[in-house]
């Protein structure tokens, strides 16, 4: 999926100035607080980021659910649907959602711009595309979304690979938002030094540095395996139905009594079992061979990759 030189120049220009399509007319910001939206894809320590921000206590995040999925699946339900998931308080400094499902949705940047205009700060957590795609494959197997080998799963669900086509998707976001509105975070930096990772995030958001509690520190890149594919798929479909009808409390009760761990498997912190077999590593490298270079053309070097 190599980008031609013409496209590379186009994307580089997008870094230098913000170009908004004429058909995207922003509406009023529906919140009295500054808006921060994390747009990076799944399996880039996004759950860790959500836990950390909730632990702080000074940030307004969705109630009873991590992701509203408004900018991809639920956009037809209107701004009131999105807004009612938040309960801002006097001690909150900003309104934030960690959404992982809109990164590679073509319409999502336009919808975000339509909701907030340029009055939003974007965070984009990323991870080496090979490692992320393999982790996503295991994640989808856990929830019964795919089954079989890596190659079989990618054939059935190409999004395992295509969501790691970072340059393509970020180029789409840069059509609506300038480079200084997007803070790129890298899971590899989180693994190397959490303090530096948090300081960089807080500096971008204009927030005081608060270190995570001990029980959060190692909870990134968790991995688990379900024992029964059909049972996992059935429970996942039921959970999606409940989310669609905003019955989040039922899902949370099921989690609290251990049903999630029983069906989907108990998570192992830091993905200690998430070692990519050599054959899978080589296959993914062939599929994603140009992705790192193309991303670095857009945002500059990523040292840990």
Which structural domains are found in the chain, ordered by start?
5-16+34-224+267-296 (3.40.50.300)
Which pLDDT score is estimated for 247? 76
List all residues 6 or more positions away from 178 whose beta carbon is below 8 Å from its beta carbon: 15, 17, 18, 118
Give pLDDT tens digits for 140-159: 998 899 999 999 999 999 99
List all residues 6 or more positions away from 6 whose beta carbon is below 8 Å from its beta carbon: none
**Do β-strands 35-38 and 94-98 pair in parallel, antiparallel, or remain unpaired?**
parallel
Q: How confident is the model over 167-191, as a mean pLDDT?
A: 95
Residue located via tokens 């009023």: 28
Residue located via tokens 């999926």: 1
Torsion region of 20: left, alpha or beta (phi above 0 gives left; psi -120 to 50 gives alpha): beta
CA-nearest of 279, 269, 168 to 216 is 269
Check: CB of residue 33 under 8 Å from CB of residue 97: no
User: CA torsion sign, 108 to 109 to 111 to 116?
Assistant: positive
pTM of the model: 0.83
Give pLDDT tens digits for 242-300: 777 777 787 777 677 665 665 566 666 654 445 899 999 999 999 999 999 999 999 99
Percentage of the chain with pLDDT > 70? 78
pLDDT confidence bin for 95, thresholds 50/70/90: very high
Q: Alpha-carbon distance 1 to 269, whole Å? A: 33
Q: Alpha-carbon distance 19 to 6, whole Å? A: 17
């Amino acid at each position: 999926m190599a980008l031609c030189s013409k496209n590379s120049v186009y994307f580089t220009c997008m870094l230098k100035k913000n170009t908004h399509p004429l058909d995207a007319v922003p509406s009023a910001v529906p919140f009295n607080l500054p808006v921060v939206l994390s747009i990076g894809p799944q399996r880039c320590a996004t759950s860790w980021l959500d836990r950390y921000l909730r632990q702080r206590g000074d940030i307004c995040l969705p109630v009873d659910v991590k992701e509203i999925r408004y900018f991809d699946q639920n956009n037809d339900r209107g701004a009131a649907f999105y807004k009612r998931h938040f309960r801002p308080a006097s001690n909150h400094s900003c309104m934030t959602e960690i959404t992982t499902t809109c990164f590679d949705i073509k319409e999502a940047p336009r919808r975000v711009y339509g909701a907030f205009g340029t009055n939003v700060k974007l965070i984009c957590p990323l991870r080496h595309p090979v490692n992320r795609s393999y982790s996503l494959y295991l994640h989808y197997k856990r929830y019964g979304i795919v089954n079989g080998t890596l190659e079989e799963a990618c054939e059935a669900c190409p999004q395992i690979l295509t969501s790691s086509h970072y340059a393509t998707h970020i180029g789409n976001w840069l059509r609506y938002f300038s480079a200084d509105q997007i803070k790129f975070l890298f899971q590899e930096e989180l693994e190397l030094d959490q303090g530096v990772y948090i300081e960089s995030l807080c500096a971008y958001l204009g927030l005081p540095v608060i270190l995570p509690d001990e029980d959060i520190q190692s909870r990134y890149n968790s991995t688990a395996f379900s024992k029964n594919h059909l049972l996992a798929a059935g429970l996942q479909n039921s959970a999606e139905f409940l989310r669609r009808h905003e019955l989040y409390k039922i899902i949370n009760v099921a989690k609290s009594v251990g049903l999630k761990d029983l069906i989907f498997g108990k998570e192992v912190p830091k993905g200690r079992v998430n070692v990519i077999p050599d054959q899978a590593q080589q296959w993914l490298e062939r599929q994603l061979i140009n992705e790192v270079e193309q991303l670095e053309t857009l945002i500059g070097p990523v040292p840990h990759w």
